[in-house]
Structure 1
């Protein structure tokens, strides 16, 4: 067996599809959504994917782009119904933020690479991991602080927004009554909620506020924010 050809699909409008006739490949892709395995196909990162009805036909191999085109080429009303079958339920693709934007949030000296080695051992309490959890449609938010040793959590109430000032004031109020030994350091997630607030909190409580590449608090919280990828049901 030779190397399967890379599938190519030209961008066409719905009316061009209707005038030219829907190809067998696109028709099979759309039928797959009705059979509920389209959810799985769109989660594949790349390469070519054999359709369930044509496992040995290289001409019927489809790429993620073929799947997206077969969905997004539809009129608005039909698209709204079809995107419900996608795992994310989104009608458009989400743009990826440039990484250099996040690097500008905190100065170099406050990055996690400068965190004390003893913090990694979790031998003493007082070293916190922080993150901001968003509600539905990003219209509400709440901050969290999780102690690395004890896993004790503190909630930061943010009723009026998640700007640096709002987050700073909520954090200062939340940890203000803690004993000094419980205020050793705070490592906050890469979000923009702490923009401009790192030094203010550090000065107010004589602790070091750092930014990581990915926090333990973030890992624990984001695991529950989005459903895991769907898997094929039996028979597909």
Structure 2
């Protein structure tokens, strides 16, 4: 791995600051180096620090192997050698057997072989199993998360561990340079973050989004909303592109079923209200109970929406988007699908004019999103759970 002119002490400092969530520019300034140098240094490792290989103190040393070799030449038994070295007899027996037996044992070659056996990482599971790799890559291309892929594989191949893989193995295969030959690294673009390297998690400061008259606080929301046992309670917000473009998202709390609403006219309250109202009226009446929204000014006409749809609207506390966390998570997933041109799976950052996407485009994206398995549902899809809710007696109970 290239050091890009950084000393070992500086490299340790880079990794320390990286774990703290500092930006490339802050790291560069602290070390008196160009921001790009710090970025390239971290990029080459995928944001994962490579630890040097070290031998465990529990393993045989080179000098102990020399003693074994001399003892074999002197005719000592494995038990005698073990007693003299302070080791278990089985340890000495295995050492001799795996390195050619008593007639072919050589200390130097045994030590080299032990070092090679101890090298990490071993060949990745995805590199060893082409069929499993193909499935993982296909699902990543559909913007499934590694966790969703892991859960889906467990359901599809419940008794076949050769066709199962952990989500962490998938992440490491994507990011760790020692494993990158195991999987197509360009598929990092299909993850919700779209980043080419792993970043430490850092807190984000929510912003003040204005005051709305006549608000009904989330604290007044019915208690039944919290446990998600009663379906029909929705969360919503805007996903912003280049201003003044946005789309609205609606997520049903029990099933996580998602609807995406085109806003071709803009993001002001009078422009959002008719499109949002029309979408809410398209929800079956038995699943149209409440709506929880962020405290954005697009909700200035929330009373008109309630009058038209019969759905009370509750607004989160200021600077508290986590109070509608289901919708926040869905909006992050949605960023994977907002397209450039006709490609509905090309990751797109926030700087795009979302008014160019028709309602049909957004319905196609919602269809894909609703047919991704979710861990919370035992890796069933939101669409399947939503369909069950529509057909169940629970959904019809007021």
**Other structure's SS at 1:113 match:** helix
Write the mapping of 1:91-170 to structure 2, written as runs, cut at 5 A: 99=208, 102=210, 104-108=211-215, 110-135=216-241, 137-138=242-243, 140-170=245-275
Find out whether 1:220 has 2:345 as its counterpart. Answer: no
Q: Is contact 1:189-1:218 (8 Å) kept?
A: no
1:58 maps to which residue? none
User: Deviations along 1:94-144, whole A, 9 cap, x unmatched?
Assistant: xx8864x53x23545x11111110111212221101011123x34531111
Q: Does the C-alpha gap of structure 1 residues 29 and 154 become closer, same or farther in structure 2, counting only changes over 3 Å?
A: closer
Question: 5 Å matches for 1:2-151?
Answer: 26-27=32-33, 31-33=37-39, 35-36=41-42, 99=208, 102=210, 104-108=211-215, 110-135=216-241, 137-138=242-243, 140-151=245-256
Cα 1:26–1:167, aligned 2, differ >3 Å: closer, same or farther?
same
SS in 2 for 1:121: coil
Question: Alignment partner of 1:122: what SS?
Answer: coil
Greater mean alpha carbon deviation, residues 181-190 or residues 217-226: 217-226
Q: How far 1:219 sits from its partner (Å)?
A: 2.6
Which consecutive residues of structure 1, in runs of 5 or more, have no partner in the other structure? 1-22, 41-86, 88-95, 228-236
CA distance, structure 2, for counterparts of residue 98 and residue 123 of structure 1: 32
Closer, same or farther: CA 173–113 of 1 in aligned 2, 3 Å = same
Unaligned runs of 5+ in 2: 1-28, 47-195, 197-204, 337-346, 348-398
Structure number with higher helix proportion: 2
Q: Give the count of matched residue pairs.
A: 148
Give the counterpart of 1:203 among 288, 299, 307: 307
Change (3 A) 1:211 1:35: same
The one of 169, 173, 189 equivalent to 2:278 is 173
Taking structure 1 as reference, are residues 97 and 219 closer, same or farther at Cα in structure 2, changes over 3 Å only? closer
Deviations 1:61-117 (A, max 9, x none): xxxxxxxxxxxxxxxxxxxxxxxxxx9xxxxxxxx8864x53x23545x11111110
Output the TM-score relative to the length of structure 2: 0.32
TM-score scaled by length of structure 1: 0.51
| In 2: Cα distance, 1:98 partner to 1:120 partner | 25
CA contact (8 A) 1:129 1:148 kept: yes
Aligned partner of residue 32 in structure 2, secondary structure: helix
Per the TM alignment, residue 151 of structure 1 is displaced from its structure 2 partner at its CA by 1.7
Higher relative CO (Cα under 8 Å, sequence separation at least 6) belongs to 1
Let me know the Cα RMSD of the aligned residues.
3.6
Which is greater in Rg?
A: 2
Q: Distance in 1 between matches of 2:311 and 2:270?
A: 18
- 1:29 positional shift: 6.7
Contact 1:106/1:211 (8 A) holds in 2? no
Contact 1:106 1:198 in 2 (8 A): no
